[in-house]
């Protein structure tokens, strides 16, 4: 990988991310790369709420990159008030999804701009620019894809399953409605054309990464991508650092382990490198037997310094994995 691009606007790393775990590494990558980073974000979690278009994963990455996120939850804004939510509750309206007052402004503006005819990529550009985020922030597609959970309690739209039902119903299978008609946006394809490495952030492989990787044409594009493709495990010691990944894997009949994550991703795309936590060091040989170079390190990101340190280790792995011409 070359050093910083002199033109100043060309991202050299494309990161694929979902919610909180992905946003943490995206923050570290942003500190390391500045505007040489493009983050492609899952939109399968998006939904309509209070008549507004809400994009939880996009907003989680946006707020993290801008340094505005709630440090406790990882999603939402720091120091939020909830006056609108309280009033909605008094009216007997929908109050299961905790929208803060500041966050509400994001959804109001996004919805207004979408209704004015902009697409989600254009609106997201406006939002991230206004918040001073210099990395490209790209929804995976401008066509709606909606994650639908088929569970033992019936069919649930994603946020109803995740937030309202706290992932309690047993997951039978996932559906990504609209996937067949969706395409990676031109900006995503342009970012990949400029990129020298692709990083899969430690996001839920089933809920957050699959919607991106299953976009028609995306896996094929990654297959011919010349640079290294590196992923970071969201599973540490058989547990998800955040969210229901381990529970979902068990329900899908897959052992919740970093190795299973590597196998899952390597089944979708060409994977060159995989970062797993020191507590999972015993799985490194099995990862290597998949033809994937393992890197064992501390993957827990608890502050800005640890996010940047992990990001720099991931980038160093990618540099090591740049494929040399066979004559060398
Ligand atoms: N997650 C919750 O568990 N409860 C909430 O009430 C909630 C509200 C919320 C509001 C805005 C936003 O951008 C995200 C929010 N999230 C909430 C997180 C989000 O729904 C999930 O973490 C992701 O969709 C999964 O990646």
pLDDT in tens, 272-308: 999 999 999 999 999 999 999 999 999 999 999 999 9
Tell me the average pLDDT across 119-135.
98
CA atoms within 13 A on the CB side of 149: 25
CA atoms within 13 A on the CB side of 223: 10
Reference 42, options 144, 173, 135, 181; nearest CA is 144
pLDDT at 228 over 50: yes
Q: Which atom of ligand 1 is nearest to the CA of 56?
A: 13
pLDDT of residue 230: 97
Residue of the CA atom closest to atom 4 of ligand 1: 163
Is the residue at 3 inside a domain? Answer: no
**Candidates 17, 55, 76, 84: which one to mutate for ligand 1, based on the most atoms within 8 Å of Cβ?**
76
What is the number of other CB atoms lying within 10 angstroms of the CB of residue 69? 23
Q: 130: which residues sit within 8 A by CB, 6+ positions away?
A: none
Å from CA of 131 to ligand 1 middle: 20
Q: Residues lining ligand 1, judged by CB closer than 6 Å?
A: 18-19, 45, 56-57, 59-60, 75-76, 97-99, 103, 159, 162-163, 208
pLDDT class of 242 with cuts at 50, 70, 90: confident
Q: 234: which residues sit within 8 A by CB, 6+ positions away?
A: 21, 202, 203, 204, 205, 240, 241, 242, 243, 245, 261
pLDDT at 327 over 70: no
Q: Over the range 234-248, which residues count as b (16 or more CB within 10 Å of their CB) and which as e?
A: bbbeeebbbbbbbeb
Residue 116 sits in which domain range?
A: 12-320
How many distinct structural domains can be found in the chain? Answer: 1
Q: Residue 315 has which token pair? A: 């980038």
**What is the bridge-based pairing of β-strands 229-232 and 273-277?**
parallel
- What CATH number does the domain containing 292 carry? 3.40.50.10680
Q: How many helices (H) and strands (E) does the chain have?
A: 13, 14
Is the residue at 77 inside a domain? Answer: yes
Is the residue at 45 inside a domain? Answer: yes
Is the residue at 7 inside a domain? Answer: no
Q: Which of 7-21, 106-120, 191-205, 272-286 has the lowest mean pLDDT?
A: 7-21
**What is the bridge-based pairing of β-strands 235-236 and 239-240?**
antiparallel
What is the number of other CB atoms lying within 10 angstroms of the CB of residue 126? 13
Q: Is 89 helix (H, G, I), strand (E, B) or coil?
A: helix
**CA 97 – CA 312 distance, rounded (Å):** 35
pTM metric for this prediction: 0.95
Is the residue at 325 inside a domain? Answer: no
pLDDT of residue 136: 97
Q: 31: which residues sit within 8 A by CB, 6+ positions away?
A: 304, 307, 308, 311
Is the residue at 204 inside a domain? Answer: yes
Is the residue at 327 inside a domain? Answer: no
pLDDT class of 8 with cuts at 50, 70, 90: very low
Is the residue at 2 inside a domain? Answer: no
129-145 pLDDT, tens per residue? 999 999 999 999 999 99
């Amino acid at each position: 990988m070359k050093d910083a691009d002199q033109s100043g606007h060309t991202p050299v790393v494309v990161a694929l991310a979902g919610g909180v775990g992905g946003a943490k590494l995206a923050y570290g990558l942003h500190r390391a790369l500045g505007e040489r980073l493009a983050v492609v974000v899952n939109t399968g979690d998006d939904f309509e709420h209070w008549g507004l278009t809400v994009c939880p994963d996009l907003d989680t990455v946006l707020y993290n990159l801008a340094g505005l996120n709630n440090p406790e939850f990882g999603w939402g804004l720091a120091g939020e008030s909830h006056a609108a939510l309280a009033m909605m509750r008094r009216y007997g309206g929908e109050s299961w999804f905790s929208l803060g007052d500041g966050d509400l402004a994001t959804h109001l503006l996004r919805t207004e701009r979408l209704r004015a005819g902009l697409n989600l990529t254009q609106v997201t550009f406006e939002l991230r620019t206004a918040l001073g985020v210099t990395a490209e922030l790209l929804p995976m597609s401008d066509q709606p894809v909606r994650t639908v959970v088929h569970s033992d309690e019936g069919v649930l739209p994603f946020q109803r399953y995740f937030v309202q039902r706290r992932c309690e119903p047993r997951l039978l299978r996932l559906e990504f409605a609209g996937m067949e008609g969706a395409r990676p946006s031109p900006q995503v394809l342009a970012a990949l054309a400029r990129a020298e490495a692709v990083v899969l952030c430690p996001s839920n492989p089933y809920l957050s990464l699959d919607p991106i990787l299953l976009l028609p044409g995306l896996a094929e594009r990654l297959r011919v991508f010349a640079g290294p493709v590196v992923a970071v495990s969201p599973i540490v010691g058989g547990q998800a650092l955040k969210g229901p990944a381990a529970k979902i894997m068990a329900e899908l009949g897959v052992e919740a382990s970093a190795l299973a994550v590597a196998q899952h991703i390597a089944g979708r795309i060409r994977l060159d490198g995989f970062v797993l936590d020191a507590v999972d060091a015993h799985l490194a040989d099995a990862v290597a037997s998949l033809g994937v170079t393992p890197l064992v390190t501390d993957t827990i990101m608890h502050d800005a310094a640890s996010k940047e340190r992990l990001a720099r280790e991931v980038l160093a792995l990618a540099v090591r994995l740049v494929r040399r011409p066979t004559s060398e």
